[in-house]
């Protein structure tokens, strides 16, 4: 999709990239500090410089790769699904103790320190680069701008970002919603699925609600009462059920429109589509209830 410089679409995509950079920024300064803490003072300065340089270089290479990879059939869908997972991970609170798993311990040599910093940044930056690639819709200028925004955050901006998200935690929620929206637009832009979505326009709405309900589940689960929490599984489950029937109908060219059904088999299929999920939901609720009761019993004894 071509976006004119400073058009509404361009500015919107740039805003999405800034938001993604803010919420998915990795803590490189902490990792560099942890890795370099046992090295001599002279080597520490070199490690900070070359570590930062290596991290930026790795991010630039990944950004270039993402532009080409997302053009390949199937990768847009995979990227969109990965963004759904990233949005979920972003909104799920993490324990403070689980923070330094990327760094096993302080490095003892210059090469070891640089290697650890670069690998850690590559691991931390994959989600960021993928999300920027998705939000940029293939526009190279936007990807360069996204990189230009994320680099100062890597080098100097960490404290500013922490202060900002600490003051306005809703930025994180908004970031999760924008990631889900980007994931949805990547899934519907997938060249392999394009003709299918054209033929089944209603499935786009189902896909959008499915993606939002999965991505934002940690958010609304926190607001729900214990008895209504199974809805977090049931709603996406029913949407997947409906989508599966659409897919089966187009793969086996079955008649799925109840207004056009004429044979008994078609009516049975329709009944299975609209009512078949009810016994599954009932079985899930029964199982959920049993598990909850068992847990309660175990907690008491």
Residues that bind another protein (CB under 8 A): 8-9, 11-13, 15-16, 23-27, 30-31, 90-91, 93-94, 96, 99-102, 124, 153, 158, 161-162, 165-166, 168-174, 177-178, 180-181, 184, 188, 201-209, 212, 216, 218-219, 221-222
How would you write 144-202 as a 3-class SS string? HHHHHHHHHHHHCCHHHHHHHHHHCCHHHHHHHHHHHHHHHHHHHHCCCCHHHHHHCCH
How far CA 96 is from CA of 91, 111, 120, in Å, comes to: 15, 29, 18
**CB of 111 or CB of 164, closer to another protein:** 164
- CA–CA gap between residue 287 and residue 234 (Å, rounded): 13
* Closest among 180, 156, 205, 190 to 74, alpha carbons compared: 190
**CB of 66 or CB of 188, closer to another protein:** 188
**CB of 110 or CB of 219, closer to another protein:** 219
**CB of 196 or CB of 219, closer to another protein:** 219
**CB of 43 or CB of 158, closer to another protein:** 158
- Location of structure tokens 């990227």: 79
Tokens of 282: 């009932």
- CA–CA gap between residue 113 and residue 193 (Å, rounded): 44
């Amino acid at each position: 999709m071509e976006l004119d410089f400073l058009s509404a679409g361009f500015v919107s995509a740039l805003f999405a990239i800034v938001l993604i950079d803010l919420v998915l920024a990795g803590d490189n300064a902490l990792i560099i500090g942890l890795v370099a803490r046992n090295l001599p003072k002279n080597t520490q300065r070199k490690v900070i410089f070359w570590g930062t340089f290596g991290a930026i270089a790795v991010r630039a290479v990944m950004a270039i790769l993402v532009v080409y990879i997302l053009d390949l059939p199937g990768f847009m869908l995979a990227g969109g699904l990965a963004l759904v997972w990233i949005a979920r991970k972003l909104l799920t609170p993490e324990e403070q103790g689980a923070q330094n798993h990327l760094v096993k311990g302080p490095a003892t040599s210059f090469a070891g320190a640089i290697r650890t910093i670069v690998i850690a940044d590559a691991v931390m930056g994959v989600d960021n680069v993928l999300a920027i690639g998705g939000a940029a819709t293939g526009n190279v200028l936007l990807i360069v701008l996204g990189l230009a925004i994320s680099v100062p955050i890597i080098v100097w901006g960490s404290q500013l970002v922490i202060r900002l998200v600490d003051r306005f935690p809703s930025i994180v929620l908004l970031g999760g919603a924008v990631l889900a929206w980007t994931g949805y637009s990547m899934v519907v832009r997938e060249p392999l699925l394009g003709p299918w979505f054209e033929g089944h326009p209603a499935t786009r709405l189902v896909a959008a609600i499915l993606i939002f309900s999965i991505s934002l589940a940690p958010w609304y689960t926190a607001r729900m009462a214990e008895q209504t929490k199974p809805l977090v599984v049931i709603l996406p489950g029913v949407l997947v059920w409906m989508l599966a029937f659409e897919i089966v109908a187009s793969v086996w060219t079955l008649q799925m429109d109840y207004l056009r059904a004429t044979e008994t088999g078609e009516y049975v299929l329709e009944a299975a589509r609209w009512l078949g999920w009810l016994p599954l939901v009932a079985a899930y609720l029964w199982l959920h209830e049993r598990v909850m009761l068992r847990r309660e019993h175990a907690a008491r004894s």
